[in-house]
Structures are given as structure tokens and as C-alpha cells.
């Protein structure tokens, strides 16, 4: 199996665990995230995490298998483009 290495640190394919920080008050962010994941062929469950102390932020997590840096970058850019996504980890 061929692996793609980026800067000698990341070897592909790789299991990537996203933590997505969102605006907790958004009515559409969950559906928006699910649509982007589906568009990119991700069928893993989007799991809700903790809400911030003041209720401003909500976390979600999802595991994705990437075969290349381009795939990782493309999905990350698409998730970051969602209006109520504040941060990706």
C-alpha cells in the first residue's frame, strides 16, 4: 500500500478525529455540518459533545479516514466555511 507523507509527519491514509466548535444558538449548524460531511462521502456519526459553561458554544466530533492531504484540506475548508462553525480541532 502506498502512503503519502506530508513534511515527514503525517502518513496517509490516516484516521482523523475532528472536534468542531460551533455557535450553540444556531438552528442550522448541525444540518449544515451533516450536509458537508455527506457531500464529502463521510458517513460516520456526528457526535454531540459538551456545551460551554455559558451556553455560547457546542462541540461535535466525527472520525474521518483521509487518503491524502488534499482530501483533509478540502473537507477542513468546507467545514470552516459553515457560518456557525467557529473552530476546528
> Shortest CA distance to 64 belongs to which of 21, 32, 16, 19?
16
- Record the pTM: 0.87
When comparing pLDDT for 10 and 87, which is higher? Answer: 87
Domain boundaries, the chain: 14-88
Q: Which three cell numbers stand for residue 30?
A: 448541525
Tell me the average pLDDT across 57-68: 97
Cβ atoms 36, 30 nearer than 8 A: no
Span 22-37, pLDDT tens digits: 999 999 999 999 999 9
d(CA 1, CA 27): 43
| Of 10 and 57, more confident | 57
pLDDT at 1 over 50: no
Task: With a cut of 50, say whether residue 54 has pLDDT above it.
Answer: yes
User: Residues 6 or more apart from 9 whose CB is under 8 A from it?
Assistant: none
Q: Which CATH architecture best describes the domain 14-88?
A: 2-Layer Sandwich (3.30)
Query: Distance between CA atoms of 32 and 38, rounded to whole angstroms?
Result: 10
Amino acid at each position: 500500500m502506498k502512503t503519502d507523507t506530508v513534511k515527514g509527519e503525517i502518513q496517509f491514509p490516516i484516521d482523523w478525529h475532528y472536534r468542531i466548535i460551533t455557535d450553540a444558538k444556531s438552528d442550522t449548524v448541525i444540518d449544515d455540518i451533516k450536509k458537508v460531511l455527506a457531500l464529502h462521502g463521510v458517513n460516520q456519526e456526528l457526535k454531540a459533545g459538551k456545551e460551554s459553561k455559558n451556553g455560547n458554544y457546542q462541540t461535535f466530533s466525527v472520525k474521518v479516514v483521509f487518503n491524502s492531504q488534499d482530501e483533509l484540506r478540502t473537507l477542513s475548508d468546507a467545514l470552516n466555511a459553515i457560518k456557525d462553525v467557529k473552530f476546528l480541532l
